[in-house]
Structure 1
């Protein structure tokens, strides 16, 4: 009974509270005010609007001002009669307009500068925002400059303030201020950013993609739309598409005021040549934007490219930070139905913003398209308002707000009381999140399920990588910029996977770019594995993956740049200076820590599977980082894993793994033991030119160790530096790592600890007895350096064994600039 009494009251409060709100945009008509012809007493009718002359209108609050009119000779050169007069301000002045309804407003300022006023420098502010700063107007091409802003304006007096700089002046030819349709700008973007309406939006670009210029006469809100051809990076990647007589199906919240019909009836469509897969790169537009600023990017879509209604999808990219799946059918359910997305995107220091569309391999019909683009800078710099609203208007606003809050509280309280009598229901996850991004491979031979970044699983037959970190996706266009389109002067190495280039991203980050041979299809499993592993782990001694590119037949990995190359380059067969013994110890300790993190720090453990001196890289400070995870796999640490194919590099391969095909973390320990001998002896792990018993370094080194002849095969450059105790400890560690039975080998944690002690012995001033055991020297243990604990990300890495076995000529040294090693195994293993 009580519930029935509440229903009429709730309905009444609901109607009272919302009675003052505007009707939907379908009832919106373009208002008659304010359209101002500045510096004139003549009314002009342009684009079905009447621009009222401001002379003697009482709209201008000024101290010193004057009007300007062109002479008869100049009048013929102006693009419109609207620009034949202007209002000039010698001191700060304001236009003051009465606003009778709260909401979003379009504010347009028109400037046309003849020679005698082209020296003006001034600021413009409104609603507490500095809209233009040190603004100057140059009309060298005889066109007007129109600055458009979208502002939230309260009821009362609204002032637009013009402030000349120093001894200069300000001017304006025309002003437009009128309310936008309801919901023209939504407070929350499609990628989850809120508070948009609290900012001033400055329109920088408004593009009719695939179509001609649209003048204000062709637009419902008197906007100008420019064609996109001048912004397209490669004209050969796309073609124009147009429908002449399509009946557009507008569905809320999209209507004819969001964008005029001609925008949605033209589009750029990606050209897909099935006979030339390597040329099917994303379609990319590059726009000039404000540096290091936040922008609202509105992208318009309308499926006019499909011959019939079909369920397909493609991918949209905005710079390197945003990737979004576009599915027209899922979005609208109809053909020729407009829709749009708003994204908040931060620009970088380059002053460019790239917008791309590309195919998604999960879609059987790959026809990416784009109809329109609007880019608006979010102006957040506080300005000043010199003319305050009347006190009466302030009280009216406060009263309305307080009254609304009271109604909301009453209405909300009743609903809460009502909800207690009902069973709670589950709340659905919002459709859009800060980065609702999906990325599928474009290689036709990829058949692995994919999981999105947000954790929702999708069964996609041709997507490349599960659990992929999509924030690492870099468009091919960005890679071209970073490497000067793969300039051979930036080539620093070659390997089985492909070429390696030095590059610099627009963010200033230096990278090593590893590019597969386009169209070869080789190295695909390694490419996928490396992304899966490195996108989930972070450690001081592991090379970081900056990003990857996977457009059509391109497979590109971008790593942090390691300026000193590989460890092997500093040991032998190069002209680089020889490393000191202390430096070698520090490098080995760093590599051991990195491998230990792989084995123990990541969830489930990761086996590197290809530990060697060319996969240990050095930065400018000789800090060691383990690299190249193409052969890695998630390994069960407490039980062996049977592999169908042995993978690795001959000379470093664990003999037990080779004979039994049982892979464990101890296989990495054996390989690292070989690296320790390399560091000690500075020679190749396999050298066929030597006598038979010396060809294999691991076998030869252990034989010399047992005979007490290890010092005879040491690198001569470090012999005078090595403390005998440090040498003994180091050789003991190597011997333990190279035990035939995996169970007899130490863990990488033990190896790292023992190496730290070897370093301590090298640095200590007090010589210990050669046969003292490190485990019994308590004082030395106290002197050991503290091993820092590095933050990590949980790795959930799964994947079947890859089927590619690669070969490595272990006796041949890489080029001096090579950073990434060959990942191969000898056929004669």
Structure 2
């Protein structure tokens, strides 16, 4: 034993190579357990690490599946919570006034407006093809489409990233579905507010916007003569007067929201910002919204919205019709970037000729000069900083109609024969300082002075 001995043993198993290759030692017992692979980490039936590797794989797969399940659960919970908040917000908004409740009932009862499916509008616009785009607005993209019944329509698809899109959607549907006026765009219908996308379907107006013709893509056509522009001003004012009469403030009056048909008749559009207001309420308090260059400056200061805010915006539209210039142009001098400021300065300094589009014939046609001068005065009144100094939109309609029809002189002299100052203004054209206009507003009670100027023009 001290000299040692050699023991030879034959293991009756073909699995030794696997065991030894894995770093283990073959063992064989006669006690019935048979072959086993002895490793530093334990005893295994075939080779070292065989079951450890499998166990590791199971652990990894289990961990991944578990993490995925947790992620899906969290995502589901957050999604449900978001949907619940949106539903609550929408319901609260709909409950905030009888108008929204009425619209909700209309949807439930299948009444007006007509409810389109997302799929049929997708087909109508060729899958909202880029080639069908008519333009982008503040709240969505407008596409040209054709319905199964053959009607050509404009489909507005509201932006998904606009957190107030449900409110704006319901607002526009509710307002347009209750209105009927020849100078307001017709709403054919919409999708359900629970649809995949919020879509509004309008009549298609083929001749673009007033902005397109004044200083946009169609300006080179020079299709808007001064008589057409004056008629556009009157029809737009008539549409706004109708809205104000039924207690609606448009809130976003601008030339891009004034559409023209093939006969250059007006269709006022885009009521996403509009508000219903009761007659006994003098203003609506809200966060400032609208388009730079058109927004009532008082609105920015106190967040109070009145029908006179629409009058201010319409005053900017009048100046655009006179000048063919955009409401805001950063290439102009600092004091004239805002067209309203430019107009006030030019009219105040008796420089209307510098404001007028030279293509309109202001210097060559006396009648054109007369009517442009009158419209410039109306614009000056609409753009007054103090709201009480602005005329109502109804008075603006009367003034502009009087200017177009050319019977202002007779009417005014019949009603105001005793007021020599007003008669003098009529006979002298725009040969007066707008300071006198403001003075006349201050010298009388607000309502009386505005009315006298309306009839005096």
Question: What TM-score bracket applies, with the shorter chain setting the length?
Answer: 0.5 to 0.7
Distance 1:521 1:689, change over 3 A: same
2:412 to 772, 775, 780: 775
Structure 2 residue 177 is the aligned partner of structure 1 residue 532:
no
After TM superposition, the structure 1 = structure 2 runs for residues 540-689 of structure 1, keeping only pairs within 5 Å, are: 540-550=182-192, 551-576=194-219, 577-578=221-222, 579-600=224-245, 602=246, 605-637=247-279, 639-689=281-331
Work out the CA distance in 2 between the residues paired with 1:523 and 1:457: 18
Q: Deviations over 1:628-664 (max 9, x none)?
A: 1111111244542251411211111112222222211
Q: Equivalent residue for 1:490?
A: 132
What aligned pairs does 1:514-533 form with structure 2 within 5 A after superposition? 514-518=156-160, 521=163, 523-533=165-175
C-alpha distance in structure 1 between counterparts of 2:100 and 2:230, whole Å: 46
1:545-575 Cα shifts (integer Å, max 9, x gaps): 1111134331101111110111111101324
In the TM superposition, 1:158-557 aligns within 5 A as 446-448=90-92, 470-518=112-160, 521=163, 523-550=165-192, 551-557=194-200
Contact 2:106 2:112 in 1 (8 A): no
**d(CA) in 1 for partners of 2:280, 2:305:** 11
For 2:381, the equivalent position in structure 1 comes to 736
- Aligned length in residues: 328
Q: Give distance in 1, aligned partners of 2:357 and 2:176.
A: 34
Aligned with 2:360 (options 718, 726, 731): 718
C-alpha distance in 2, partners of 1:697/1:596?
24
1:519 shift after superposition: 6.9
Q: Relative to 1, partners in 2 of residues 1:744 and 1:505: Cα closer, same or farther, differing over 3 Å?
A: same
Q: Deviations over 1:494-521 (max 9, x none)?
A: 2332221101112222110011235765
- Name 1:754's counterpart in structure 2: 399
Checking the alignment, whether the CA contact within 8 Å between 1:450 and 1:465 is kept in structure 2 is: no
Unpaired segments ≥5 residues, structure 2: 1-73, 77-82, 416-457
In structure 1, runs of 5+ residues without a counterpart are: 1-273, 277-360, 365-440, 779-829
Structure 1 residues 662 and 498: alpha-carbon distance in aligned structure 2, compared to 1, 3 A threshold: closer
Q: State the SS of the aligned residue for 1:652.
A: coil
8 Å Cα contact 2:330-2:337 kept in structure 1: yes
**TM-score normalised by structure 2 residue count:** 0.65
Decide whether the 8 Å contact of 1:727 with 1:758 is kept in 2: no
Maintained 8 Å contact 1:611/1:672: yes
Once residues 571 and 539 of structure 1 are traced to their aligned partners in structure 2, the CA distance between those partners, rounded to angstroms, is: 25
**CA 466–625 in structure 1, closer or farther in 2 if over 3 Å, else same:** farther
- What SS does the aligned partner of 1:548 have? strand
**Alignment-derived partner of residue 20 in structure 2:** none
**Distance in 1, Cα, partners of 2:108 & 2:225:** 43
Indicate the structure with greater strand content. Answer: 1
- C-alpha deviation, 1:457, in angstroms: 7.2
Change (3 A) 1:465 1:670: farther
| Deviation string, structure 1 residues 674-713 (Cα, Å, up to 9, x no partner) | 1100110111112222112221211111111121111112
SS at match of 1:502: strand
Give the C-alpha shift of residue 593 in structure 1.
0.6
8 Å CA contact 2:133–2:143 kept in 1: the answer is yes
Task: Tell me what 1:100 maps to.
Answer: none
CA spacing shift, 1:450–1:696, aligned 2, 3 Å:
closer
Q: Distance in 1 between matches of 2:232 and 2:157?
A: 28
Contact kept? 1:497, 1:517, Cα under 8 Å:
yes
- What CA deviation, in whole Å up to 9, does each residue of 1:200-248 have, x standing for no partner? xxxxxxxxxxxxxxxxxxxxxxxxxxxxxxxxxxxxxxxxxxxxxxxxx
Decide whether aligned partners of structure 1 residues 730 and 638 sit closer, same or farther in structure 2, where only a CA change above 3 A counts: farther
- Deviation per CA, 1:279-302: give whole Å up to 9, x if none: xxxxxxxxxxxxxxxxxxxxxxxx
Deviation at 1:488, TM superposition (A): 2.4
1:448 and 1:465 in contact (8 A); partners too: no
Secondary structure of the residue aligned to 2:195 is coil
Cα gap change, 1:450 to 1:465, in 2 (>3 Å): farther
- Residues 446 and 464, structure 1, Cα contact 8 Å, conserved in 2: no
Distance (whole Å) between structure 2 residues aligned to residue 671 and residue 538 of structure 1: 22
Q: TM-score, normalised by structure 1?
A: 0.37
How far off is 1:773 after superposition?
A: 8.0
Q: How large is the RMSD of aligned CA atoms in angstroms?
A: 3.4
Query: Measured at CA, do residues 639 and 450 of structure 1 come closer, stay the same or move farther in structure 2, by a change above 3 Å?
Result: closer
| Cross-structure match for 2:21 | none
C-alpha distance after superposition, 1:292-344 (max 9, x if no partner): xxxxxxxxxxxxxxxxxxxxxxxxxxxxxxxxxxxxxxxxxxxxxxxxxxxxx
Question: For 1:501 and 1:593, how far apart are their aligned partners in 2?
Answer: 28
Larger radius of gyration: 2
CA distance in 2, matches of 1:740, 1:466: 46
Q: Is the contact between residue 681 and residue 715 of structure 1 (CA under 8 Å) also seen in structure 2? A: yes
Out of 706, 711, 722, the position equivalent to 2:348 is: 706
CA deviation map 1:325-378 (0-9, x unaligned): xxxxxxxxxxxxxxxxxxxxxxxxxxxxxxxxxxxx9xx9xxxxxxxxxxxxxx
Q: Relative to 1, partners in 2 of residues 1:659 and 1:450: Cα closer, same or farther, differing over 3 Å?
A: closer
Q: Distance in 2 between matches of 1:733 and 1:682?
A: 17
Q: 1:644 to 1:516 in 2, by over 3 A?
A: closer
Change (3 A) 1:711 1:545: same
Q: CA 1:636/1:753 → structure 2, altered by over 3 Å: closer, same or farther?
A: same
Equivalent residue for 2:36?
none
Distance 1:656 1:467 in 2: 42
Counterpart contact for 2:238–2:397, Cα < 8 Å: yes
Instruction: Return the offset for 1:723.
Output: 2.1
- Contact 1:562–1:618 (Cα < 8 Å) also in 2: yes
TM superposition shift of 1:717: 1.2
